[in-house]
Chain A
Amino acid sequence: SYVLSQPPSLSVAPGKTATITCGGDIIGTKSVHWYQQRPSQAPVLVIYHDNLRPSGVPERFSASNSGNMAALTISGAEVGDEADYYCQAWDSGSDHGVFGGGTKLTVL
């Protein structure tokens, strides 16, 4: 089955740039989506189709996808960005959705 790999945690100082990676076999050929989840809340889509932002998501959130790695970048990180972040893609081979294991972002 298709696997997406994320680092379990990442720390960044306020105002700096955080980059969360999502590794997968030829992930660059898939459409990757990113979600933000705060404690005890449902996930929120922050990036779809590799690098598009839904309305209401700040421009500080951007993403890329190429080769075997996708990445979510948060520029000028704020304390309010502290959350778990998940990448997600569709594995057409198995007809399954797949989530990465999640990355806990700490801003301090």
Chain B
Amino acid sequence: GDSVTQMEGPVTLSEEAFLTINCTYTATGYPSLFWYVQYPGEGLQLLLKATKADDKGSNKGFEATYRKETTSFHLEKGSVQVSDSAVYFCALISMNYGGSQGNLIFGKGTKLSVKP
């Protein structure tokens, strides 16, 4: 079935470092791809999305490009801040499994800690 694989955490970086969190997916067809973020004590918030190949989603300095050839959607940020410390989830909407209803399939999440 459809699935999402993220790099294992935790990831610890110094402020202003470059961030990459890898995400690859397995899906039939062309799923929509998402990054969600969960700050401590809060729910899941949509960070960015891409709905077709070569689309680039961006928000708050984060970017991810939908790469069909490598089935990837890696999250990047050029200069992280302490306030970016959170858990990041890669997800897709499976077009086979209730795609019309928009059910999300998530990766395991990657915890990011940014030190001052």
Q: Judge: A and B partners, yes or no.
A: no
Show the binding face of A for B, using Cβ within 8 Å: none
Show the binding face of B for A, using Cβ within 8 Å: none
